Structure 1
Amino acid sequence: MNTQTRLQTVVSPQPGFGPGQGGATDDDFIDLGRLLHAVLRYKWGILGLAFAMTLITGLWVYTLEPVYRASASVVLESQESNVVNVEKVYSMGYRDYDYYQTQFEILRSRHLAERVVRKLQLHKHPFFAADEEDAQESGFGSSLTSLLPAREQAPPVQLTAAEKEEQAIQGVTGYVAGGLDVQPVDYSYLAYLSFESTDPKLAATIVNAVAQEFIDADLEVRLSGTLQATDWLSSRMDDLKRKLHESEQALQAFRESEGLVEVEGETSLGSNELRSLAQRLEEARKARIEAQNIKEDVQGMSNASTEELMTVPAVLQHQVIRDIKKDQSAAERKVAELGKRYGPKHPKMIAARSDLAAANSDLAREVRKVVSGINREYEVALRNEQQLQATWETRKSEVQDFNRTEFRLRELQREVNTNRELYDIFFTRMKTVSETGGFEKPHARLVDRALVPTAPIKPNKRLSVTLAFVLGVMLGCGVAILLDMLDNTIKRPEEVEEKLHAPLLGALPLQQHGKAGFFEHVWERPQSQYAESIRTLRTSIFLSSPDRPLKVLVVTSTVPGEGKSTTALNLASAMGQMENVLVIGADMRRPSLAGKCGLDPNHKGLSHYVSGVAELDECIERLDELGVSVMPAGVIPPNPLELISSRRFVDALEQLKQRFDRIILDSAPVMAVSDGLVLASYADSVVYLVKADATPATQAQRGVASVIGSNEPLAGVVLTQFDARKASRYYGSGHDPYGDYYQNRETG
């Protein structure tokens, strides 16, 4: 596998870091360790913010005026005194839950607060009078009005003394209503009233006045309701009395016009008489019909014999005929008995026959009389029926007329009775309400009166200061976490592969600069931690291409100031211990290699050779102390990119490859100019530097991508100026593997 393929494989995104791989999991995962590291990183700033907020809060709290709270308790009575059973003239459901909630809202009402203000004359109290004077002296509203143009200013409103007083009352009422707190106790009829004020005596006075006015206002309302009910009853009684008098007069006038004295029992007598007449008329009608039937039976038998007439049932059943018939039967039985005993000429027989003949003669005579009396009986029955019919009709008309009179009479009587009953009911109620209206049981009572508070409830200075400190710490932690989230720099070696998706060659620790502005390099302190880091970097570069040595290396970075010249010089010194190494200052825009090597800034260098001013050997300086050869950049040319792109530079590089084992090019930043990319095309590999906790990862990503996108070989990334001790404090141990070892070695 060639070098190009290997580098592309190395810098390809690692599993879990590339787009589309584990992205959802990473977004949903909250790295608590990172949050803790961010807090530890800015701990002094967090503590400074917390102490500043605590100090400001403390100063502000100690300037506040203390506030006192006065509290009283009120209980609502569960039952109402039921002195008079009046139909709820003015009442509510005392056992209803809604009723108690309504009473608690009345306690909070503005109307009740206004009653308290007017009763106590609070608008004249010095406490509120002082606030009004302060508001007038501030003149905030008038100052705003004065800023308007003269034509837009409204004319001042002149208030009368009464209007000013009413305005003051309404203002104090709003203050009392807004400051009053009502807290009902669950599962009870008890409520606590409290009021806060900077004047403790005023707070207690207002609370007690509100409780008392709450009780008095309810009594007044109920008393006014009773008076209203009494007035209404009185007006209704006047109407009822007038209606009763009119109905009684109408009843009496009707009696006098009809000539009635008493109608009790008259209706029943008339009904009984009509019933009796109807019964008699029915009997007369039956008798007439019976007589008519008999008359029709005997009407054609005027010449009939006695025996034929005896066939008529009416004749046969006549009482006289039946009696004579009995006598005839007795005479016949006697004749028959004597005939068995005597002869026809016996005196007894003769006497018996004489009696029989007399009986027959009587029977024939009576039969004729009965027949002749049938017509007379029919006529009598008919007249009797007609007479009873006429009497019944007359009496019926009289009873009907009387019923109409009685109905009207009873109607008038009912109206009188109804008016009298209503009048009596209202009269009784009015008397009871009038007599007991002054007795009203309070619907609430004051359990505990408010005492003048001795200790303020706020401000709670200790709590305020503590909360300010806690909130300051929380705010500081939030800001620290936000800054850490916004900070896209690379702080640790582990983040190189995570954010840049490129291999890490090594991490160079941050060094303290001396008075001259330089730190001690590898050749000055070969046993230092920095020297060991350079040697580790050297080893990583060697191992990055074991099959083909990297003859030409380009050291570049994203932006200036990331330590390219220093790293290139120290790396060359480390490699110079084993090889013949040349360092070329290829950054001809901001050259710094000559100064770091102790050479004259105008020393002949790369720009001199490429421009043809000097020879190649004149531009190379051997530094025995460093163990390397150096070709500085020379004077700054007007066209650096044209010089390094020239054929003369390429030929010089080929000649130098024959003379030196390894050549290190100190290049310009790739994101500033394109010099680095041109130099990378001549090199065998590129060492990319990233300054720890300084270079944004997005810019470094674009720089690495530009190198890879130009098909230039990338050996890896070096994290420079890495503060291992700081990282160890913020991110835990493991970031300073050589510090303790070399420190103990040097001190020992």
Structure 2
Amino acid sequence: MMQPLQSPLHVHEPHARSAEGAGAIDILRLLGAVRRYKWGILGLALVAALAAAVFVASLTPKYRATASIVLESEEANVVAVEDVYSLGRTGYEYFRTQFEILRSRHLAERVVRRLELDRDAAIASAAEPAQRPWYKPDLTALWPDWKKTPPIQLSEQEQSEATVRAVANTLSRSLDVEPVEFSQLAYISFESENPRRAAQVANAVAEEFIASNLEGRLAGTLQATEWLSERLATLESNLRDSEQALQDFRDSQGLVSVDGVTGLGGDELRSLTTRLDDARRARIEAENLLEEVRGLSGASPEELMTIPAVLRHELIGSLKEQQSAAERRVAELAKRYGPRHPKMIAAQTELESANRELAGEVSKVVSGIGREYEVALRNEHELQASWNARKSEIQNFNRKEFRLQELQRDVDTNRQLYDIFLTRMKSVSETGGFEKPHARIVDRATVPARPVWPNQQRIIIGVFIAALLLGAGIAVLLDILDNTVKSHEDVAQKLGAVLLGSVPRMKTDKQGRFAQFWEETAGNFAESVRTVRTGLLLSDLDSPPKVILVTSTVPAEGKSVLSLNLASALGQMENTLVIGADLRRPSLARECGLSPDHKGLSHFVSGVAELDECIEYLEDLQVHVMPAGLIPPNPLEMISSRKFVAALKVLRERFDRIVIDSAPVRAVSDAQVLASYADYIVYVVKADATSATQARRGLADLAAASDAHAAVVLNQVRQGSSDSYYHYSGYTHYGESPTS
């Protein structure tokens, strides 16, 4: 029968933290959680960065072009029509208004029409309205026909205007106007998938902004042109009347043009006067010569030749030279020949011929002097008549010219007034405000060489850092939500128990084995087992525990491996026996390399086999082993029987230390029964696996069944964690209380 339960097990309940530390954040614990999941966090960050790199590579890059403009604070004044319009362009409100105009839809539509962006397939498709999402069905299809609103039929021009407005809205969303604080400068930026298009739009916005303002200012001059137009119509009528009067006068007087006519008539009259004077002198000379010739009437040719006019005659002079030459020849030949010589006769004949010709020519010249006088007299009379007639014509033309000039002055005056008002009206209506625009472009946008979005390096680094932070947050959250026992602090805080020691997690081979205590006595695992052994022996110096129960909360926490290795460590100093008391899922025989049907505890308790047949000494381990034997049909009744108590009494007398490998506490009640026979309980808790709630309940169950001291061994602790052997001294935990 089962023995009565003894006093409660010596364990401590978790106590509350102090008020001061209740609200404090355990930074070391959070850092420990991050460090524990560091490879997972790094893997998450790398995967996220790789996914971000793939995603960013699939994105269409966008380019950003920027132009800068400066607003002029002074107003241009091309025409002198002041007070026609007033813009009030001073102060902060004016500049703010201009910057908002840069963002206006009207300006965007001007840019769209100028660059014909509505014909760009890429931009027009982006401006099309998005399709209705699946979660918002068009319920109008279910309505009766009489409830449906007929679609609006748009003309081709209206459809074109709608497209322009849609593209302008899209353009406005990609346009950024950034005024520079405390200045009149603003930056106009536009983003597009086409770098050349980005620069074109940015420059077009700046240019259309200036042009739009100029057009607006011109619209303000329409009021000035109204009264100018009315006045101009009156002046045009006056000018037309004066020009008609001038033309009628010209037509009536047969005038074509009077430009230079007066001066030409004066020059002609002066020329006639000169010619008349010359003709009068020529007539007087001819008259004097005629009187001289008449005074020599009947004179010989030689006498007539004394008259200078006859002597100066060309032909007379030539004939006189011929006569002189003939006389010299006759004189020369007379010296050699006689009068009848042929040469002398020929010379005389030549001389006579020259005399005759000279006499005849002199006679002609003398007779021509009278005719010359008559010609000179007639020429004088004709020139005098011409001079008189021309003088009368010029006097008559001067009277016409005076009237013509009077009419011309009226025409010129009317034309001058008309031109002044016409120029003023044109200046107001066409050129007003063009002398000084309200803004000017400082820097034109250039075609960007690199995309502004996406910034692959920044995005990937940002995603990597965000993933690191997310992973760290998840790690901290998992640590907060994790109810497992991971560290010696958890043993004290969550279990309220004493930590006997911690055993590191070892790397296993393909068969799942690792170097045991007896196989590698200098390793981390062996050192941690010795630490547990030392803590166990020092737990009660006056009455050291002889029967040691090793159990756990649930299966697969490593209690059988720890039982065997702890027994081997004790076997180095004392005669030690390890008993496989897990009669439901025995594993001690397998760990020791014994046959599963080897005689053991069940055989000895049932009396089937002797004690020596059930115990096997393992020389390598330096420990005696009693495996579980055959699995009995009633394990709990067997270990609760008097035979088991008697058998345990015999074993106490024979061995210095007895290590009992028990079944898990939460699985069956075998461990509670065995705890009533034990002097010390080693409670194995698998790190990062065992629920603290279940472990605490298991300890509570053992405390209700036995008054033996109990301590926790944290098994399979990851090397490098805060509970690793090389990160803290295991000896500091011997006998440590939960409050330490």
Per the TM alignment, residue 462 of structure 1 is displaced from its structure 2 partner at its CA by 3.7
Partner Cα distance (1:711, 1:37) in 2? 36
Partner Cα distance (1:547, 1:449) in 2? 96
Q: Give the counterpart of 2:68 among 63, 69, 73.
A: 73
Matched with 2:181 is: 186
Moved more, 598-607 or 221-230: 221-230
Matched with 1:689 is: 684
The answer to whether the 8 A contact 1:61-1:461 is kept is: yes
| SS of the residue 2:538 aligns to | helix
Q: Which amino acid aligns with 2:540?
A: S
The answer to whether the 8 A contact 2:501-2:730 is kept is: no
Matched with 2:589 is: 594
Q: Which amino acid aligns with 2:727?
A: G
Per the TM alignment, residue 212 of structure 1 is displaced from its structure 2 partner at its CA by 2.7
Partner Cα distance (2:8, 2:450) in 1? 80
Q: Give the counterpart of 1:22 among 4, 10, 18.
A: 18
Matched with 1:727 is: 721
Partner Cα distance (1:733, 1:618) in 2? 42
The answer to whether the 8 A contact 1:541-1:715 is kept is: no
Deviations 1:183-202 (A, max 9, x none): 11111111111111122332
Structure 1 residues 46 and 171: CA distance shift in structure 2, 3 A: same
Partner Cα distance (1:507, 1:144) in 2? 58
Partner Cα distance (2:634, 2:511) in 1? 32
Question: Does structure 1 residue 669 correspond to structure 2 residue 641?
Answer: no
Per the TM alignment, residue 29 of structure 1 is displaced from its structure 2 partner at its CA by 3.3
Matched with 1:444 is: 439
The answer to whether the 8 A contact 2:109-2:168 is kept is: yes
The answer to whether the 8 A contact 1:584-1:631 is kept is: yes
Per the TM alignment, residue 149 of structure 1 is displaced from its structure 2 partner at its CA by 12
* TM score, norm. by length of structure 1: 0.61
Looking at both structures, which has the greater relative contact order when contacts are Cα pairs under 8 Å and sequence separation is at least 6? 2
Matched with 1:209 is: 204
Q: What is the root-mean-square deviation of aligned Cα atoms in Å?
A: 4.2
Deviations 1:18-54 (A, max 9, x none): 31x33542542341x4444444444443443333333
Per the TM alignment, residue 476 of structure 1 is displaced from its structure 2 partner at its CA by 3.9
Partner Cα distance (2:454, 2:506) in 1? 52
Question: Does structure 1 residue 545 correspond to structure 2 residue 540?
Answer: yes
The answer to whether the 8 A contact 1:58-1:461 is kept is: yes
Structure 1 residues 446 and 691: CA distance shift in structure 2, 3 A: same
| SS of the residue 1:75 aligns to | strand
Question: Does structure 1 residue 122 correspond to structure 2 residue 117?
Answer: yes
Partner Cα distance (1:647, 1:233) in 2? 134
The answer to whether the 8 A contact 2:563-2:660 is kept is: yes
Partner Cα distance (2:569, 2:452) in 1? 73
Partner Cα distance (1:737, 1:661) in 2? 25
The answer to whether the 8 A contact 1:708-1:714 is kept is: no
Moved more, 224-233 or 35-44: 224-233
Matched with 1:103 is: 98
Aligned 1:451-490 pairs, distance under 5 A: 451-490=446-485
Per the TM alignment, residue 710 of structure 1 is displaced from its structure 2 partner at its CA by 4.4
Q: Which amino acid aligns with 2:711?
A: G
Matched with 1:502 is: 497
Aligned 1:416-455 pairs, distance under 5 A: 439-440=432-433, 442-455=437-450
Structure 1 residues 526 and 473: CA distance shift in structure 2, 3 A: closer
Matched with 2:12 is: 12
Partner Cα distance (1:538, 1:453) in 2? 75
Aligned pair count reads 526
The answer to whether the 8 A contact 1:544-1:715 is kept is: no
Question: Does structure 1 residue 705 correspond to structure 2 residue 700?
Answer: yes
Partner Cα distance (1:617, 1:156) in 2? 104
Matched with 2:298 is: none
Question: Does structure 1 residue 607 correspond to structure 2 residue 566?
Answer: no
The answer to whether the 8 A contact 1:37-1:731 is kept is: no
Question: Does structure 1 residue 652 correspond to structure 2 residue 633?
Answer: no
Partner Cα distance (1:220, 1:712) in 2? 103
| SS of the residue 2:186 aligns to | strand
Q: Which amino acid aligns with 1:12?
A: H
Partner Cα distance (1:104, 1:717) in 2? 75
Per the TM alignment, residue 612 of structure 1 is displaced from its structure 2 partner at its CA by 6.1
Partner Cα distance (2:140, 2:647) in 1? 82
Partner Cα distance (1:485, 1:444) in 2? 63
Per the TM alignment, residue 168 of structure 1 is displaced from its structure 2 partner at its CA by 1.8
The answer to whether the 8 A contact 1:512-1:519 is kept is: yes
Per the TM alignment, residue 687 of structure 1 is displaced from its structure 2 partner at its CA by 0.9
Partner Cα distance (1:636, 1:147) in 2? 73
Partner Cα distance (1:586, 1:209) in 2? 92
Partner Cα distance (1:232, 1:613) in 2? 137
The answer to whether the 8 A contact 1:685-1:712 is kept is: no
Q: Which amino acid aligns with 1:18?
A: H
Matched with 1:169 is: 164
Per the TM alignment, residue 142 of structure 1 is displaced from its structure 2 partner at its CA by 10
Structure 1 residues 142 and 500: CA distance shift in structure 2, 3 A: closer
Deviations 1:245-286 (A, max 9, x none): xxxxxxxxxxxxxxxxxxxxxxxxxxxxxxxxxxxxxxxxxx
The answer to whether the 8 A contact 1:707-1:714 is kept is: no
Partner Cα distance (2:58, 2:653) in 1? 83
Q: Which amino acid aligns with 2:626?
A: M
Per the TM alignment, residue 104 of structure 1 is displaced from its structure 2 partner at its CA by 0.8
Partner Cα distance (2:85, 2:15) in 1? 81
Q: Which amino acid aligns with 2:55?
A: W
| SS of the residue 1:727 aligns to | coil
Matched with 1:561 is: 556
Partner Cα distance (2:456, 2:546) in 1? 73
Deviations 1:573-628 (A, max 9, x none): 33334444332222122111122223222233333455565566654444455444
Unaligned runs of 5+ in 1: 236-431, 739-748
Partner Cα distance (2:500, 2:568) in 1? 17
Partner Cα distance (2:476, 2:180) in 1? 45
Per the TM alignment, residue 148 of structure 1 is displaced from its structure 2 partner at its CA by 9.0
The answer to whether the 8 A contact 2:225-2:425 is kept is: yes
Structure 1 residues 202 and 597: CA distance shift in structure 2, 3 A: closer
Structure 1 residues 580 and 27: CA distance shift in structure 2, 3 A: same
Question: Does structure 1 residue 635 correspond to structure 2 residue 618?
Answer: no
Q: Which amino acid aligns with 1:184?
A: P
The answer to whether the 8 A contact 2:8-2:707 is kept is: no
Per the TM alignment, residue 491 of structure 1 is displaced from its structure 2 partner at its CA by 3.9
Identity of aligned residues (%): 54
Partner Cα distance (1:625, 1:204) in 2? 85
The answer to whether the 8 A contact 1:573-1:627 is kept is: yes
Per the TM alignment, residue 92 of structure 1 is displaced from its structure 2 partner at its CA by 4.6
Per the TM alignment, residue 169 of structure 1 is displaced from its structure 2 partner at its CA by 1.4
Question: Does structure 1 residue 112 correspond to structure 2 residue 107?
Answer: yes
| SS of the residue 2:676 aligns to | helix
The answer to whether the 8 A contact 1:84-1:433 is kept is: no
Partner Cα distance (1:511, 1:149) in 2? 70
Partner Cα distance (1:661, 1:125) in 2? 96
Per the TM alignment, residue 630 of structure 1 is displaced from its structure 2 partner at its CA by 3.0
Partner Cα distance (2:198, 2:189) in 1? 8
Structure 1 residues 442 and 578: CA distance shift in structure 2, 3 A: closer
Partner Cα distance (1:12, 1:192) in 2? 72
Partner Cα distance (2:8, 2:642) in 1? 29
Structure 1 residues 130 and 526: CA distance shift in structure 2, 3 A: closer
Partner Cα distance (1:527, 1:140) in 2? 73
Q: Which amino acid aligns with 1:124?
A: R
Per the TM alignment, residue 560 of structure 1 is displaced from its structure 2 partner at its CA by 1.4
Per the TM alignment, residue 103 of structure 1 is displaced from its structure 2 partner at its CA by 1.6
Structure 1 residues 175 and 140: CA distance shift in structure 2, 3 A: closer
Structure 1 residues 460 and 145: CA distance shift in structure 2, 3 A: closer
Per the TM alignment, residue 173 of structure 1 is displaced from its structure 2 partner at its CA by 0.8
